[in-house]
Chains A and B, each alone.
Chain A
Amino acid sequence: MNKWLIPAVAAVALLSGCSTVQRGSIPVVDAGTAVSNSERISANGGFRQTTVKRPAQAQVQEIPQGDSGVVVMVPGAGAMTSTPISTTPITPGPVSSGPITPGPIDTTSGQSAPINQGSYSMPSTPSGIPSASSGGLSADEQLDGPVLALLTTAQQQQASGDLNGASSSLERAQRVAPREPQVLYKLAQVRMAQGDAAQAEQFAQRGLTLANGRPALQASLWDLIAQAREKQGDSAGAAQARQKAKVSL
């Protein structure tokens, strides 16, 4: 009897050892999965499922919803200009020494100072834009090309609650167009939403140094600075900023 019992026990032991996991229900956790290349999407679509939900990528034609203040407006379909605003001058040339001096113009300098011929290029006003209603900006605040696309993406990310993603997209826009104050304005807004009022104020300040001749944007930036100061407990500074916002407009 026992002669058969022992191999039977052995066999059971062996089988139970082997069958702790059923074929087909393998508990494989590929923790080290998919480095580098694997995230390159193969031609058939790629395998990776990102668990973090991300909004769709930029759809240029989509008109973003303005949250508050500045609205990034989309030029009408036929009015797309291909020059990106303010990123870089297409023809590098000697830089003008002349300023645009909004505000009180000094007589000694204002008269003879040449008009700024620098790298900043204002886009021509496209026709058929949605007019500057709903707190929007004047026509010279139109953006197009890469900056618009990235701001649109950022706006979608922000709307879906992905502030880090929005922030990252805006920094990408800032690299593409480092001197576009609207990007800095948006960055400041997102920093506010992230609860970082101090950085929001800094970005708005930086935006102001690049926003000469754009009174509507200046007003929005001052307004944001006022909010940021309020949040940091500086009500006197906030009042001052609010005053500047009024003057700018």
Chain B
Amino acid sequence: MTRTRTPRTPKKPPSRGLSPWLGWAIKLSLVGLVVLAGFAVYLDAIVQEKFSGKRWTIPAKVYARPLELFVGQKLSKDDFLTELDALGYRRESVANGPGAAAVNGNTVDLNTRGFQFYEGMEQAQPVRVRFSGDYVAELSATNGSKLSVVRLEPLLIGGLYPKNLEDRILIKIDQVPPYLLETLVAVEDRDFYHHFGVSPKSIARAIWVNGSSGRMRQGGSTLTQQLVKNFYLTNERSLSRKLTEAMMALLLELHYDKREILEAYLNEVFVGQDGQRAVHGFGLASQFFFSQPLAELKLHQVALLVGMVKGPSSYNPRRYPERALERRNLVLDVLQEQGVATAEQVEAAKKMPLGVTKRGSLADSSFPGFLDLVKRQLREDYRDEDLTEEGLRIFTSFDPILQMKAEASVNDTFKRLAGRKGSEDVEAAMVVTNPETGEVQAMIGSRQASFAGFNRALDAVRPIGSLIKPAVYLTALEKPSQYTLTSWLSDESFSVKGADGQVWKPQNYDRRSHGTVFLYQGLAHSYNLSTARLGLAVGVPNVLKTLARLGVSREFPAFPSMLLGAGGMTPIEVATMYQTLANGGFNTPMRGIRSVLTAEGEPLKRYPFQIQQRFDPASIYLIQSAMQRVMREGTGSSVYNVLPKTLTLAGKTGTSNDSRDSWFAGFSQDLLAVVWLGRDDNGKTPFTGATGALQVWASFMRKADPLPLDMPQPDNIVQAWVDSRTGQGSDAGCPGAVQMPYIRGSEPPPGAACAGEGPASGESVMDWVKGWMN
């Protein structure tokens, strides 16, 4: 005490020369040390807090449906190979290791990668698939034993990004491919395993270089420092930041071992920019540049990725392939020099092309329409932070093969119809579902399918025109004592006065009336007069009730004009409505998501399959057969210009006033598609339902090659022979006799004898029957 006090005594003369200065220096340094210690404690808290907690926020990842393989599955080899390519399978002469495939004629050998699904783990395994026609004919393990069902890993189709748009796929250090760690250390920080976070040698070198150039040029940073810089600090270049960085690097090394630091580095490193999205970590970089999981990368790919660390934008292999190649080969030289790889290995690797895929195949923008649907469904159940930070894995029903076919159909059709004046302003939307499961498989929200913007499939509410008609006819057919497919309807013009005094006078598309027609013909030919008469007879409110039972939750006013589709609906609502018609009268809420797993692979949520019977299968059976007539003989018959006659389909065209909307909705056994064409400004288009939307639909069905519609015949349906002209009961042997389905009890009494007028050729009924029977 006394000694420290002594110098401060003001009365003491400053005769001792140096000693007060020394005293001050000691005191100052002590203060400095305390401050520094305090700063160190502060930094240490930061270092540990961030490193030991959740290190990164991970956007939710959205996956397509996994492709299932089993014998008897309808899948062409071409489609299968498309899927493998999208998944980044390497084509090899002999499939070797996960993610490899070898094609020999009709046989494809592959090694699946394995994946954690909601239902459990799918193991990685070697599989042989043999195709026959468009079917899987054989599925076996490499030892020849049969496999009953195998599923591939699902394609990653996008993510739900937070505002900072940082994206990564986390990896563990034991998942990295050979050479990666060695290459990284050899190129970026040779002393990594020996220093304590900073390397005096490289700092000295950096000081020398920077001193002589007068500017901060060279980092001399260790991997630890680089990690600290990216993980904790800003990009500012200053001496104080450099010192902070060095201290934090030392502290980090004090607490965590080299492997842990290296693992963090692998996940933190910035490797490129994908539009707005920053690509962080080698895990995502591998997917982004090679469409492959990191573990599968080979020496030349590893060298490229490590080489890019130095300058992700200047060595971007997609933008500057020559520069990137040069850099890669330089890295390979270093590897040889350092003894990481042999001269032969380096030589072989140098001969390899860069091997990057065309574009970021997991680019967020690839399938904006469907992702939009997924996001909307997720937002009903999760907070935004959960979706952008927790690394959730979202499993969807999206089918990339069908999506590509849908997009190609839209593009092809517009190209083909480009000659029609005004077609260039026409927009498009499409919804593809599986009627048997209620799952959405593909979606197009814009003519430019990759354009993220107004999603017309979900948001464009447009008059549906004649798409409403099945609801009118179904309402009637539910009363078998009053209506059958062969009931007579008048197709004469009429007018009604509404409650508001307005007169409604519908017209047929061809402005003619068609006399008296069979009920099914009114639907098949989309006659407005007979349909409107029928709708008024059964009651507009009842038709709207039917519409609601079909799954349309939108409310409509009970105006007569509703009977001809004046009400507006979105394409996805139309899909819901037709889904119920396609699925035997069972309504299913549309689903795009199957299940959600946590980042750890634990089940979080399921979106279960739910059904509700809304109609008796018999009346659905009847409306389906009438809708088949639409395709065989009615307004949809042009599909059979491009599709085989054996393919039974059901559907309906829709055209709103002045051809402002061109619709088609229809289904096969396993595929339902709704197409809408129209202008955003609601202007006139050059298309009717048949000349526009139906063309897209037919093109899609041709590419997708679905199964023919085949609804099992309900118990209370009977097939009766009737006279094709009169609709009266007939005998099977009689000329002009055709078979028609009726709800039991509503069939006409069996005809006794033949009228003997000879074959009624030329009759319209005969025509459709022929088309149907053939």
Contacts and interface: CB of A to CB of B under 8 A. Distances in A.
Interface stretch (B120-128, B228-236, B474-482, B566-574): B120-128
B400 interface: no
B162 interface: no
B51 interface: yes
B715 A2 contact: no
B260 A176 contact: no
A157 B119 CA distance: 9
A168 interface: yes
B710 interface: yes
Interface string B34-75: 100110110011001001111111100100000010111110
A202 B608 CA distance: 13
B177 to A, nearest CB: 10
Interface stretch (A64-72, A104-112, A134-142, A233-241): A104-112
A7 B251 contact: no
Contact of A34 (B170, B610, B708): B170
A245 B744 CA distance: 22
Contacts of B772: 97
B646 interface: yes
A60 interface: yes
A13 B41 contact: yes
B566 to A, nearest CB: 33
B603 interface: yes
Given A17-B45, A109-B718, A50 B121 contact: yes
Contacts of A155: none
Contact of A165 (B51, B153, B255, B603): B603
Given A46-B114, A97-B772, A199-B608, 20 more contacts: A7-B33, A21-B255, A32-B58, A32-B599, A33-B391, A36-B61, A36-B287, A37-B175, A37-B295, A39-B393, A40-B113, A50-B602, A52-B602, A108-B718, A145-B72, A167-B606, A168-B118, A171-B594, A176-B149, A179-B436
Given A10-B34, A32-B56, A164 B606 contact: yes
A129 interface: no
A23 B255 contact: yes
Contacts, number: 318
Contacts of A28: 51-52, 256, 260
Nearest to B391: A35
B357 interface: no
A26 B146 CA distance: 47
A57 B120 contact: yes
Closest 5 CB pairs of A and B: A99-B713, A178-B436, A17-B41, A146-B149, A146-B70
Contacts of A13: 37-38, 41
B46 to A, nearest CB: 11
B739 A97 contact: yes
Interface stretch (B304-312, B316-324, B611-619, B658-666): B611-619
B160 interface: no
A80 interface: yes
Nearest to A205: B613
B208 to A, nearest CB: 31
B595 interface: yes
A175 B294 CA distance: 32
B512 interface: no
B148 A90 contact: no
B600 interface: yes
A153 interface: yes
Interface residues of A, number: 102
Contacts of A33: 170, 172, 391, 599-600
A82 B71 contact: yes
Contacts of A103: 715
A187 B672 CA distance: 24
Contact of A23 (B254, B294, B610, B713): B254
Interface in A8-30: 10-11, 13-14, 17-18, 20-21, 23-24, 26-30
A37 B120 contact: no
A89 interface: yes
Contacts of A158: none
A36 B146 CA distance: 29
Contacts of A29: 52-54
Given A17-B40, A35-B61, A48-B116, A92 B707 contact: yes
Interface string B437-469: 101000000000000000000000000000000
A149 interface: yes
Contacts of A27: 52
| Most chain B C-beta atoms within 10 Å of own C-beta, residue among A26, A34, A48, A54 | A34
B255 A18 contact: yes
19 contacts: A17-B41, A35-B391, A38-B170, A88-B670, A89-B707, A90-B135, A94-B648, A97-B773, A118-B710, A118-B712, A146-B70, A148-B148, A150-B149, A171-B608, A172-B119, A175-B437, A176-B73, A178-B434, A202-B611
Contacts of B123: 41, 57
Contacts of A35: 58, 61, 168-170, 391, 393, 599
Contacts of B174: 42, 44, 47
B44 A17 contact: yes
Contacts of A174: 436-437, 609
Given A33-B599, A41-B121, A42-B295, A178 B712 contact: no
Contact of B609 (A30, A40, A84, A171): A171
B709 interface: yes
A33 B293 CA distance: 16
A98 interface: yes
Nearest to B395: A168
A127 interface: no
B589 interface: no
Contacts of B53: 29, 31
A54 B669 CA distance: 35
Nearest to A106: B718
A43 B120 contact: no
B72 A43 contact: no
A185 interface: no
B719 interface: yes
B97 interface: yes
Given A43-B124, A179-B436, A88 B170 contact: no
A202 B1 contact: no
Contact of A146 (B148, B251, B255): B148
A40 B51 contact: no
Contacts of A202: 586, 610-613
Contacts of A157: 119
A124 interface: no
Interface in A160-204: 164-165, 167-169, 171-172, 174-176, 178-179, 187, 199, 202-203
B673 interface: no
B647 to A, nearest CB: 7
A31 B54 contact: yes
Contact of A40 (B98, B434, B741): B98
B89 interface: no
A249 interface: no
A18 B260 contact: no
Nearest to B135: A90
Nearest to B26: A3
B164 interface: no
B211 interface: no
A35 B390 CA distance: 10
